[in-house]
């Protein structure tokens, strides 16, 4: 046990149809919530203490995480810690930036003894071996290691921190959320540092009135030459925008993406939701779709992602769409290029 | 810790009429309906009826069952007080024996029951597919002032002679029993579900403890009846299926595929719970043709599937055709194979181009009692080589090779059983 985990899950949903949910609680790839990917990788790396720092609309997220045994937490040692902003006489507001959010986890970090911390975001979709990344961090003698990925297809530059590194992996520049494309390598928002070092960096930033972990804590240290990039070669995407949410789900129609994520180093764990089997009725015609438990399909569905307990009526035609959990497509309805959120009416 | 009612679930039987399906697992652990196992039904009924203490009596091949039940997490039966307990036979300082009959098994666990000081004990078996509220049955038991209640259901008169029937008056009080009567006086078939006042049960078990192979239907119930105890029937009219034979097992699975099945697994109340692993969603590839079928998570379907029940993680490759079949978890149907009316157990492989379940019916040369339908039955972890042809009413178990199929054929009524360590 060399690491503890921090998951930044503060963002609100980018998808209007699910505005009541935190990004980390968005359903992804059938049966999973976005946060399951980071959590599962942490569990697989032998991490037994994880703090999830949430902020906006944490109700669904908390509900998802409350029974932490599904991720093999809930043991006598370690566990899953949920941290969210608390209103006190001194502090009347939400987190004013990632530094403040991370500062809220300092008590948690103080109570641990593992030498390293891995910080991940709750909206990344991937499956990677964090221990390999830690080995890379130690081998390079890095102060901060940033996990990077190649630039995801068809995505806008503003969503990402673009990274330029030398052949050794040493980061030369990190351009956060600019509109110009300067690199084909982006930050996955996953960082490895020494636990003690992180605590002092955060304290220092607080005293200096700094707010953002990337621009105010990481970027100024790049010139010292001990910030390294560690490239993740497998699939990576993040669901921080509505178009990204759509394309990320659609990516799972590709066999290589399913193989990379679902057959990767760690099985992706999630809260089991006791759905009945998927059922296709007499007139069903389902091609190039992923379908989650409890769905009952009587219509035609092509190139789509069907979440749990969706009902698709007779003569309905669904193409290139995402049908969110517990929705119903009435008989004869055509749905195309949608994130479909219509609940059944009784 | 006192409990009002605890359940004792008999799960030790082999269910030998399921042939190779129960060669290596106890019947209650056999898969059903794609993602469930038979025992999930009584266990879920317990939880849905607020019975939170369940003793599961195991004996025959308990490994899969133990693994499935674990500490009962899937059914919310992991509890500090009560919860699920696996009760295998154990060695005593004298008179150690296996469970020799249903009542004997319960008798050997009097100490367990005593520890909960129950007022009532519910006796269940792990062999049936049904949803039933045991709380309602208990309410009826209390209202009637019964010492023993027997759940029964009306069956068609012409079928009544296949069952043990109870004869009851208009108040439900039982006036007699008949075991598989030629001329039935009643069409109320006993479901093998009993509620006993615990004092009555305890006394009856101790009094009958010397009876060899002590059984509820044969010994304990008649004993209580002869003593003149108030015994009542609780009439149940919902869905209830005994899946004790290959054809009844197959039919019950196929029944789930109706548009409005008798047994609804999709309603939110009285849900059936099972141990599930988080698997990726089902994937239906371009070119797949799938109708009237149900699927567990993680299946990958590239071929044609019609009127079949497929368990989690089943793969049907391109050009393969599966019809009217039950295919359990983790099994792979390779390219171009054709499977008709088959029950294929877990983690098996059907080779490319193999043809299962085609041909004229022939009497089984292996076991006439078990194999007497037009089904192909394939054991778990079985391998069927590429290109062989397998007739109807057949059984295959183990890793078979082309040499096991003279001329590439297993004729109808035949069987290949490979012994394994």
Q: What is the DSSP string of B30-58?
A: SEETTTEETTHHHHHHHHHTT--EEEEE-
Torsion angle (degrees, nearest 10) of CA A161, A162, A164, A167: 90
Q: Under a CB-based contact definition with an 8 Å cutoff, are residues A9 and A122 in contact?
A: yes
A282 close contact with B: CB closer than 8 A: yes
Of A69, A269, A284, the CB nearest to B291: A284
Q: Which range among A55-64, A85-94, A129-138, B25-34 shows the weakest confidence by mean pLDDT?
A: A85-94
* Residue with more model confidence, A220 or A71: A220
CB contact under 8 A, A274 and B273: yes
**CB nearest A287 (choices: B257, B284, B299):** B284
Q: How far is A185 from chain B (nearest CA, A)?
A: 28
- Any chain B CB within 8 A of the CB of A33? no
A315-337 pLDDT per residue, tens = 999 999 999 999 999 999 999 99
Contact B345, B328 (CB under 8 A): yes
How far is residue B13's CA from residue B130's CA, in Å, rounded to a whole number?
Answer: 18
Tell me the chain A residues in contact with residue B292 when contact means C-beta distances shorter than 8 Å. Answer: 280-282
H/E stretch holding A136 reads helix A130-140
**What's CA A42's distance to the chain center, in Å?**
12
B281 to A31: CB separation less than 8 angstroms, yes or no: yes
Owner of token pair 């990481």: A218
d(CA A202, CA A208): 10
- Are A3 and A45 in contact by the 8 Å Cβ rule? The answer is yes
Nearest chain A alpha carbon to B311: A277
CA-CA distances (angstroms) from residue A39 to A116, A230, A276? 16, 19, 26
Q: Which pLDDT band, with edges at 50, 70 and 90, does A71 fall under?
A: confident
Q: What pLDDT score does B420 carry?
A: 63
Q: Is the pLDDT of residue A190 over 80?
A: yes
Question: Angle formed by the axes of helices A58-65 and A35-44, to 10°?
Answer: 40
CB contact under 8 A, B291 and A70: no
Rounded to the nearest 5°, which phi and psi values hold at A238? Answer: -135, 145
The residue count for chain A: 346
Distance CA A199, CA B165 (A): 75
Q: Which helix (H) or strand (E) holds A323?
A: strand A322-323
CB pairs under 8 A between A and B: 104
d(CA A211, CA A232): 28
Alpha carbon distance A34, A54 (integer Å)? 13
How high is the mean pLDDT in each 10-residue block of chain B (421 residues)? 94 90 94 96 97 96 94 93 95 88 96 97 95 97 97 92 91 92 92 96 96 94 95 96 94 95 90 92 97 97 98 97 98 98 98 97 95 96 97 97 96 90 50
Rounded Cα distance between A117 and A198, Å, is: 8
Task: Compare CB distances from A291 to B35, B282, B286 and report the shortest one's residue.
Answer: B282
| Apex B140 CA angle, B199 and B113, nearest 5 | 30
Interface test with B, best of A280, A292, A309 (most B CBs within 10 A): A280
Q: If you count them, how many residues does chain B have? A: 421
CB contact B157 to A (< 8 Å): no
Name the band, by pLDDT with cuts 50, 70 and 90, for residue A60: confident
B284 strand-pairing partners: A289, B301
Average pLDDT of the residues in A45-49: 94
Closest CA of chain A from B71, distance in Å: 13
Sign of torsion over alpha carbons B174, B180, B183, B186:
positive
Confidence of residue A273 (pLDDT cuts 50, 70, 90): confident
- B-chain CB neighbours of A272 within 8 Å are 74, 276-278
Q: Note the pLDDT of residue A345.
A: 64
Cβ–Cβ below 8 Å for B278 and A281: no
Q: Please check the confidence at residue A270 and state whether its pLDDT lies above 80.
A: yes
Using a pLDDT cut of 90, give the percent of chain A over it: 73
ipTM over 0.85: yes
Residue B110 DSSP SS3: helix
pTM (predicted TM-score): 0.92
Residue B71 contacts A, CB cutoff 8 Å: no
- Residues with Cβ within 8 Å of residue A193, at least 6 apart in sequence: A116, A117, A119, A143, A144, A145, A201
A274 near B CB under 8 A? yes
Angle at A91 between CA A86 and CA A95, to 5 degrees: 65
As a whole number, mean pLDDT of residues A14-20 equals 81
For B297, which residue in chain A has the nearest alpha carbon?
A293
Q: Are B282 and A262 in contact (CB under 8 A)?
A: no
> Which helix (DSSP H) or strand (DSSP E) does residue A146 occupy?
strand A144-150
DSSP E strand stretches across A232-284: 236-238, 278-280
Q: How far apart are CA A136 and CA B98, in angstroms?
A: 58
Q: Are strands B31-32 and B36-37 parallel, antiparallel or unpaired?
A: antiparallel
Q: Do B282 and A270 touch (CB under 8 A)?
A: no
Contacts of B35 in chain A (CB under 8 A): 276-277, 293
Q: What percent of chain A has pLDDT over 70?
A: 99
Report the distance separating Cα A24 and Cα A124, nearest Å. Answer: 8
Tell whether B33 lies on the interface with A, counting CB pairs under 8 A.
yes
Tell me if chain A has a CB within 8 Å of the CB of B287.
yes
- CA-to-CA separations, A120 to A77, A106, A126, B270, B318, in angstroms, rounded: 22, 16, 11, 39, 40
A337 CA to chain B: closest CA distance, Å?
18
For residue A183, report the phi and psi dihedrals to the nearest 5 degrees. Answer: -155, 160
Let me know the angle formed at the C-alpha of B163 by B158 and B166, rounded to the nearest 5 degrees.
Answer: 100
pLDDT for position A127? 96
CB A50 within 8 A of CB A5: yes
Please tell me if residue A32 touches chain B, with a CB cutoff of 8 Å.
yes
Whole-number pLDDT of residue A20: 82
**CA quadruple A72, A76, A81, A87: dihedral sign:** positive
Q: Does A267 touch chain B (CB under 8 A)?
A: yes
Q: What are residue B122's DSSP bridge partners?
A: B7, B195
| Nearest alpha carbon to residue A82 among A108, A116, A121, A120 | A108
Residue A346: pLDDT above 60?
no
């Amino acid at each position: 046990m060399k690491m503890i985990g921090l998951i930044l899950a503060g963002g609100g949903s980018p998808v209007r149809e699910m505005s009541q949910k935190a990004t980390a609680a968005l359903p992804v790839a059938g049966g999973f919530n976005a946060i399951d990917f980071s959590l599962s990788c942490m569990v697989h790396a032998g991490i037994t203490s994880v703090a999830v720092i949430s902020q906006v609309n944490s109700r669904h997220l908390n509900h998802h995480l409350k029974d932490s045994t599904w991720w093999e937490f809930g043991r006598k040692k370690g566990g899953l810690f949920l941290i969210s902003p608390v209103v006190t006489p001194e502090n009347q507001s939400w987190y004013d930036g990632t530094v403040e959010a991370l500062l809220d986890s300092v008590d948690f970090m103080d109570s641990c003894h593992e030498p390293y911390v891995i910080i991940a975001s709750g909206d990344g979709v991937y499956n990677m071996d964090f221990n390999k990344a830690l080995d890379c961090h130690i081998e390079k003698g890095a102060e901060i290691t940033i996990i990077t990925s190649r630039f995801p297809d068809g995505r806008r530059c503003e969503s990402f921190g673009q990274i330029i590194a030398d052949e050794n992996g040493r980061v030369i520049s990190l351009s956060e959320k600019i509109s110009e494309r300067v690199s084909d390598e982006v930050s996955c928002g996953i960082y490895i540092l020494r636990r003690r070092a992180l605590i002092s960096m955060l304290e220092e930033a607080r005293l200096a009135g700094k707010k953002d972990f990337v621009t105010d804590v990481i970027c100024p240290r790049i010139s010292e030459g001990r910030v390294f990039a560690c490239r993740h070669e497998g699939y990576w995407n993040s669901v921080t925008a509505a178009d990204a949410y759509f394309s990320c789900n659609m990516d799972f129609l590709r066999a290589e993406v399913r193989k990379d994520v679902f057959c990767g180093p760690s099985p992706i764990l999630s809260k089991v939701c006791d759905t009945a089997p998927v059922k296709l009725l007499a007139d069903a015609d389902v091609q190039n779709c992923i379908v989650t438990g409890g769905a009952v399909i009587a219509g035609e569905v092509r190139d789509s992602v069907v979440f749990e307990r969706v009902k698709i009526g007779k003569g309905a035609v669904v193409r290139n769409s995402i049908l969110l959990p517990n929705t119903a497509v009435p008989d004869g309805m055509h749905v195309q290029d949608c994130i479909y959120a219509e609940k059944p009416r009784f | 810790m006192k409990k009002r009612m605890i359940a004792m679930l008999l799960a030790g039987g082999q269910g030998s009429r399921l042939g190779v399906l129960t060669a290596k697992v106890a019947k209650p652990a056999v898969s059903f309906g794609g993602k469930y196992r038979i025992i999930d039904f009584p266990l879920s009924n317990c939880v849905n009826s607020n019975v939170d203490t369940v003793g599961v009596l195991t004996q025959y091949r308990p490994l899969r069952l133990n693994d499935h039940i674990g500490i009962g997490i899937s059914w919310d039966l992991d509890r500090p007080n009560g919860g699920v307990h696996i009760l295998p036979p154990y060695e005593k300082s004298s008179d150690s024996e296996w469970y020799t009959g249903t009542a004997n098994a319960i008798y050997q666990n009097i100490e367990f029951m005593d520890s909960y000081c129950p007022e009532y004990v519910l006796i269940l078996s792990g062999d049936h597919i049904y949803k039933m509220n045991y709380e309602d049955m208990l309410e009826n038991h209390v209202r009637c002032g019964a010492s023993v209640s027997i759940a029964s259901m009306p069956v068609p008169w012409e079928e009544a002679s296949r069952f043990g029937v109870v004869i009851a008056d208009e108040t439900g009080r039982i006036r007699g029993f008949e075991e598989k009567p030629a001329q039935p006086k009643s069409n109320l078939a006993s479901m093998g579900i009993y509620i006993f006042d615990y004092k009555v049960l305890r006394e009856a078990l101790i009094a009958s403890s010397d009876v060899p192979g002590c059984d509820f239907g044969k010994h304990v119930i008649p004993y209580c009846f002869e003593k003149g105890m108030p015994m009542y029937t609780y009439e149940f009219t919902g869905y209830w299926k005994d899946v004790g034979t290959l054809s009844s097992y197959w039919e019950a699975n196929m029944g789930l595929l109706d548009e409005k099945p008798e047994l609804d697994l999709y309603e939110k109340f009285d849900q059936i719970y099972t141990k599930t692993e988080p698997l990726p969603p089902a994937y239906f590839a371009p070119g797949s043709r799938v109708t009237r079928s149900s699927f567990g998570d993680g299946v990958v379907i590239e071929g044609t599937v019609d009127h079949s029940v497929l368990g989690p993680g089943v793969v049907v490759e391109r050009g393969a055709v599966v019809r009217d079949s039950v295919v359990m978890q983790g099994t792979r149907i390779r390219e171009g194979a054709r499977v008709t009316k088959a029950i294929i157990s877990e983690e098996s492989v059907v080779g490319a181009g193999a043809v299962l379940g085609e041909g004229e019916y022939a009497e089984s040369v292996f076991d006439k009692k078990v194999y007497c339908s037009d089904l192909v039955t394939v054991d778990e972890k079985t391998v069927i080589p590429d290109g062989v042809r397998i007739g109807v009413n057949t059984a295959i178990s183990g890793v078979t090779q082309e040499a096991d199929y003279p001329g590439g054929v297993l004729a109808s009524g035949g069987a290949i059983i490979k012994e394994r360590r």
